[in-house]
């Protein structure tokens, strides 16, 4: 079996029109044919092969699209997407009028449905960074969010609001309920292993929705909430969710936590989020990366509240950022 990626590429400032779509289609067909020939040659030479070429990643990111262009690529992309594990749809509707952008998102969601739900569908990772994901956009891609094997979601700089976080939570719970009803294992929420929400100014209500969802994630290895500016109250809510997440699930697998630009406080006040964070860190024995850059002036006491529980947890931390202006690299042995 030979695994390949289909990547559109090209000039991000030039929309994909019909003629370019035809060129892309021809390139993809040639790429698949060449990969198939390679597999046959390996088999003829006694190598291990199954005479099969599978596309495991499709990347249509960083381009504007026309509906006509998508229709040209749709048959091929739909056909190969049953084996696709990663779909990158980042930055595909920037600058488009709302109705046009919604149509583009809907067309791609329909195109990639085999990756999510065809028998044997393999979709695990969905990248949607730099798209304006209002409630209507989130609704049109909900079928992909309900993919029973979905584990990784990137929503950096998507303009998410408290409403859309709640909507996302409900969509994932639908996946969970559908999966359990079908005899599946764990559901959409329980399977989440990575979630990036960087640069979404979702406010306190949005932070509460995120926190509530985090509590239900026993397999979360990577969580990033950088540049969201939740202020002190919102940070406390997020950290409460993280603490509940690791406390509710012994030996939680969290490896990477990024809270750049969150306000954890220095520990001088009893209601500083750093106190809850400190308790959480004591329970993260698998942590390898922690980013608290620009989270406030920790001082000696605040730094101790972070470092001491890390040392006591026994984790093998290799990357720690506690700076306001500098990036600090620390290796614990």
Could you tell me the residue range of the domain that residue 214 belongs to?
2-232
Does a structural domain hold residue 252?
no
pLDDT digits (tens, 9 = 90+) for 157-173: 999 988 898 888 777 77
| Cα 167–chain centre separation | 16
Task: Examine residue 65 and state whether it is found in any structural domain, yes or no.
Answer: yes
Tell me, what's the pLDDT at 94?
Answer: 84
- Residue 74 forms part of a structural domain: yes
pLDDT band for position 76 (50/70/90)?
Answer: very high
pLDDT band at 60 (very low <50, low <70, confident <90, very high): very high
- The residue with greater pLDDT, 168 or 73, is 73
Mean pLDDT throughout 268-274? 93
pLDDT of residue 47: 54
Q: Is the pLDDT score of 221 beyond 50?
A: yes
- Predicted local distance difference test score (pLDDT) of residue 331: 43
Q: Is residue 275 part of a domain?
A: no
Q: What is the pLDDT of residue 329?
A: 41
Q: 326 pLDDT exceeds 50?
A: no
What integer is the mean pLDDT of 308-319? 95
Tally of domains within the chain:
1
In this prediction, what percent of the chain has a pLDDT beyond 90? 69
Q: Is residue 25 part of a domain?
A: yes
Q: Is residue 198 part of a domain?
A: yes
Per-residue DSSP letters for 25-93? HHHHHHHHHHHHHHHHHHHHTT----S-EEEEEEE--S--B-HHHHHHHHHHHHHHGGG--EEE-TTSS
Residue 209 lies in a domain: yes
Confidence band for 44, pLDDT divided at 50, 70 and 90: low
* CA gap 223, 256 in Å, rounded: 6
Q: What's the average model confidence in pLDDT over 131-135? A: 91
Q: Which helix (H) or strand (E) holds 290?
A: strand 289-291
What pLDDT sits at residue 121? 76
What is the rounded CA–CA span in Å between residue 145 and residue 116? 8
Mean pLDDT of 30-55: 75
Range with the poorest average pLDDT among 107-121, 139-153, 175-189, 289-303: 175-189
Residue 313 lies in a domain: no
Q: Which pLDDT belongs to residue 325?
A: 41
Q: Is the pLDDT confidence value at 293 over 80?
A: yes
Average model confidence (pLDDT) across the chain: 88
Residue 101: give its domain's CATH number: 3.80.10.10
Does this model's pTM top 0.75? My answer is: yes
Q: Under a CB-based contact definition with an 8 Å cutoff, are residues 253 and 286 in contact?
A: yes
Q: Mean pLDDT across the stretch 279-303? A: 93
CA distances to 261, 298, 310 from 304, rounded to whole Å, are: 19, 9, 10
The phi and psi torsions of 81 (rounded to 5 degrees) equal: -75, -5
């Amino acid at each position: 079996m030979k695994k390949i990626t289909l990547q559109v590429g090209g000039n991000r400032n030039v929309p994909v029109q019909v003629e370019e779509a035809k060129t892309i289609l021809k390139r993809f067909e040639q790429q698949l044919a060449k990969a198939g020939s390679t597999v046959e040659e390996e088999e003829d030479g006694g190598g291990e092969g199954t005479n099969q070429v599978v596309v495991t990643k499709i990347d249509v990111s960083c381009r504007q699209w026309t509906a006509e262009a998508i229709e040209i690529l749709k048959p091929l992309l739909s056909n190969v997407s049953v084996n696709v594990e990663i779909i990158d749809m980042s930055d595909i509707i920037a600058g488009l009028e709302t109705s046009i952008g919604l149509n583009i998102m809907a067309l791609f969601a329909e195109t990639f449905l085999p990756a999510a739900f065809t028998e044997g569908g393999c979709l695990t990772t969905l990248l949607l960074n730099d798209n304006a994901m209002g409630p209507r956009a989130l609704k049109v891609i909900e079928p992909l969010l309900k993919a029973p094997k979905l584990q990784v979601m990137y929503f950096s700089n998507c303009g998410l609001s408290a409403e859309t976080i709640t909507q996302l939570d409900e969509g994932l719970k639908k996946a969970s309920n559908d999966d359990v009803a079908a005899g599946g294992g764990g559901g959409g929420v329980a399977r989440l292993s990575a979630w990036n929400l960087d640069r979404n100014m979702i406010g306190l209500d949005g932070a509460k929705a995120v926190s509530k969802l985090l509590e239900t994630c026993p397999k979360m290895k990577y969580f990033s909430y950088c540049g969201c500016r939740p202020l002190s109250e919102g940070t406390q809510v997020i950290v409460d969710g993280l603490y509940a997440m690791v406390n509710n699930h012994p030996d939680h697998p969290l490896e990477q936590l990024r809270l750049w630009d969150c306000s954890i406080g220095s520990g001088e006040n009893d209601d500083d989020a750093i106190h809850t964070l400190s308790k959480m860190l004591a329970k993260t024995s698998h942590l390898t990366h922690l980013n608290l850059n620009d989270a406030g002036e920790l001082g000696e006491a605040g730094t101790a509240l972070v470092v001491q529980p890390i040392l006591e947890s026994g984790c093998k931390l290799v990357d720690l950022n506690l700076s306001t202006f500098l990036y600090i690299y620390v290796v614990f042995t």
